[in-house]
Amino acid sequence: MDFILEPWPWYVSGPLFALVMLSLILFGKNFGMSSNLRTLCAIGGAGKVASFFKFDFKAQKWNLVVVLGAVIGGYIGSHFLQNQPDIAISASTIEALQQMGFQDPGASILPPELFSLDAISQPKTLMMLIIGGFLVGFGTRYAGGCTSGHAISGLSNLQIPSLVAVIGFFIGGLLMTHFILPLLF
Amino acid sequence: MKYLKFLSVGIFFGILLVKSEAVSWFRIFEMFRFESFHMYGIIGSAVVLGAIGIALIKKFNIKDLSGTPIAIPDKAKNYTSAIIGGSIFGLGWALAGACPGPMYVLVGTGAMSMLIVIGAALLGTFAYGLLRDKLPH
């Protein structure tokens, strides 16, 4: 039982992510989380203004059920299956974050400096979350997938476009982490 | 009842994202600084095992639960949109620290500020839908 309550190492987690993807394939579906954003837009009536959202979104209901499960899983995982919320990031990462002004890096899943109610009541932090979310929503759909659809499913299926997309993920991620975030903090 | 299996996979996926720490903004920041093998190990081992699984499915023409032969469609060969869209996503991923799976899981952990990120992501997807015909793919 102790093993379950401790953080799961990569060599346990990684194969289990493959299991999630393969289960969905065996259920006749596919592993792709960002499609749900398109489905939700379509349900909200976006098909009236853009043909991209005119599709049979009812056929995507199963994927929204996966999302619902993921929310429940997040609750179960964080409330019942976790000894402590610390994230065991490396010492050099902690040091870099401290230099940027983060108080206690890794003491919680998310940095309060970005996600606490105090933080998001400040216009600058709020804008960072809005811009971050917007770029995720825009970029994943433009690229045709995210970490699940391109990095895990696409690379597992030896898809060259997915490799190109993952290279893109890193171009953007490296720019943000090394050049933009240090300007923001 | 037919949705129960999808709900179960979702719950397992959510628990896995929490327990692997892949939901953590800190892990994404660390990954892009190349200061830990953790995230690379997760994605790398998932891809290696996933590739073996998919190769076996293809080799033995395995059918899905409904008895239909499994055919995994190829990704569209749109390299321009893959590199530009991918880079845009990467910027957002490293800023908000969450990709489209973890953002829902984080709401479940109680991080209500993630609802703002999800709302903005919906807006971003909507904006892409509006601009799609004008963008290079």
Q: What is the pLDDT of residue A3?
A: 84
Q: pTM of the full predicted structure? A: 0.97
Task: Check whether A51 has a pLDDT greater than 90.
Answer: yes
Residues A73 and A145 grouped into a single domain = no
A47 — pLDDT class (breaks 50, 70, 90): very high
Contacts of B30 (CB under 8 A, 6+ apart): A89, A90, A93, B36, B38, B39
Kindly provide the ipTM of the predicted complex, given to two decimals: 0.97
Q: Which of A72, A88, A171 lies nearest to residue B90, judging by beta carbons?
A: A171
Work out the percent of chain A whose per-residue pLDDT is above 90: 96
In a domain, A33, yes or no: yes
Contacts of A152 in chain B (CB under 8 A): 43, 46-47, 50
Mutate to test the interface with A, among B6, B36, B61, B64 (most CBs of A within 10 A): B6
Digit-by-digit pLDDT tens for chain B (137 residues) are: 789 999 999 999 999 999 999 999 999 999 999 999 999 999 999 999 999 999 999 999 999 999 999 999 999 999 999 999 999 999 999 999 999 999 999 999 999 999 999 999 999 999 999 999 999 99
Q: Is B91 on the interface with A (CB under 8 A)?
A: yes
Rg (CA), chain B: 18
Range of the domain at A177: 104-185
The distance of Cα B127 from the centroid of its chain, to the nearest Å, equals: 20
Query: Are B129 and A145 an interchain contact pair (Cβ–Cβ within 8 Å)?
Result: no
Q: Which of A29, A52, A84 is the last residue of a domain?
A: A84
Q: Which of A8, A65, A135 lies nearest to residue B88, judging by beta carbons?
A: A135
Q: What is the pLDDT of residue A108?
A: 95
Q: Are A141 and B128 in contact (CB under 8 A)?
A: yes
Q: Are B46 and A15 in contact (CB under 8 A)?
A: yes
In a domain, A89, yes or no: no
In a domain, A162, yes or no: yes
Task: Check whether A84 has a pLDDT greater than 90.
Answer: no
Q: Which of A49, A84, A119 is the last residue of a domain?
A: A84
Q: Is B115 on the interface with A (CB under 8 A)?
A: no
In a domain, A97, yes or no: no
